[in-house]
């Protein structure tokens, strides 16, 4: 199968915005760009890098769809300016699967447990949960504990029940339960 070309959004370049050089590591690759200070990190990821797995929902920090990992911890990319991420190590949902070879444990558990329907919110859930799964802290796999882990992410399809199931399944798959 041919690799699909990344989308190239049409963004006017003749703006009066000042430009700032930013360099960061994105999914293991160093990238450098000149950006306007008002460019949100979510837009940087999608428009500058063409990584459209990070979804933009509410754009004011409420829905969690745009959650990414900045230096290993989850953050709202819509509430972070790209210039603030200069020098950071960034991971997006594209970093989770090992190419076409395999899904991450969380992705696999989501797929198995029917934890997504439209899928718009899923990248945010996966990134928020990845932080908890990668931390050395014990996972609280009670219903309440799992709901606390996903409390910062909104899903309008599933009613969350199968997401809770998926988190428990992921813990099982990764030997954390």
Partner 1 sequence: MKPALFEYHRAASVAQAVDLLAEDPGAMILAGGQSLVAAMNFRLAAPSRLIDITRIPDLDRIAVTAEGVAVGAAVRHRTLERHDGAHAVNPLIRAAQAHVAHVPIRNRGTVVGSLCHADAAAEMPLVLLLCDGWVELEGPGGNRRIPAEQFFRMHLTTARASDELATRAVFPALPPDAGWAFAEFARRKGDYAIAAVGAIVQCDAGGRITRARLAACGISSKPVRLGRAEAALAGGTADATAAAEAGRAAATHVDAADDSIATAAYRRHLVAALTERVVAEAAARARRGTE
51 C-beta neighbours (distance < 10 Å), count: 19
Q: How far is the CB of 40 from partner 1 (least distance, A)?
A: 7
- Contact with partner 1 (CB under 8 A): which of 31, 33, 83, 112? 83
- Which residue intervals of 75-174 are DSSP H helices? 105-112, 122-134, 143-149, 161-173
> Could you say which of 70, 90, 105, 164 contacts partner 1 (CB under 8 A)?
70
16: contact with partner 1 by CB under 8 A: yes
Determine whether 141 is exposed, middle or buried from the number of CB atoms within 10 Å of its CB (0-12, 13-18, 19+): middle
Nearest to 8 by CA among 54, 46, 56: 46
122-161: which residues touch partner 1 (CB under 8 A)? Answer: 128, 131-132, 148-149, 151-152
Residues forming the site for partner 1 (CB under 8 A) = 16-18, 20, 36-38, 40, 43, 59-61, 64, 67, 70, 73-76, 78-81, 83-84, 128, 131-132, 148-149, 151-152
């Amino acid at each position: 199968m041919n690799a699909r070309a990344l989308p190239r959004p049409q963004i006017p370049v003749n703006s009066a915005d000042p430009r700032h050089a930013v360099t960061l590591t994105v999914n293991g690759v160093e990238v450098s760009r000149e950006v306007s200070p008002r460019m949100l990190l979510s837009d940087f990821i999608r428009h500058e890098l063409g990584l459209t797995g990070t979804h933009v929902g509410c754009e004011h920090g409420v829905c969690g769809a745009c959650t990414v990992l900045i230096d290993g911890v989850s953050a709202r990319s819509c509430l972070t300016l790209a210039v603030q991420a200069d020098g950071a190590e960034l991971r997006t949902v594209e970093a989770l699967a090992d190419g076409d070879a395999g899904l991450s444990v969380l992705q696999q558990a989501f797929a198995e447990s029917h934890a997504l329907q439209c899928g718009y919110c899923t990248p945010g859930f996966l990134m928020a949960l990845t932080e908890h799964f990668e931390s050395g802290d014990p996972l609280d796999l009670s219903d309440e504990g799992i709901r606390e882990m996903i409390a910062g992410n909104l899903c309008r399809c599933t009613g969350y029940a199968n997401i809770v199931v998926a988190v428990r399944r992921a813990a099982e798959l990764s030997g954390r339960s």
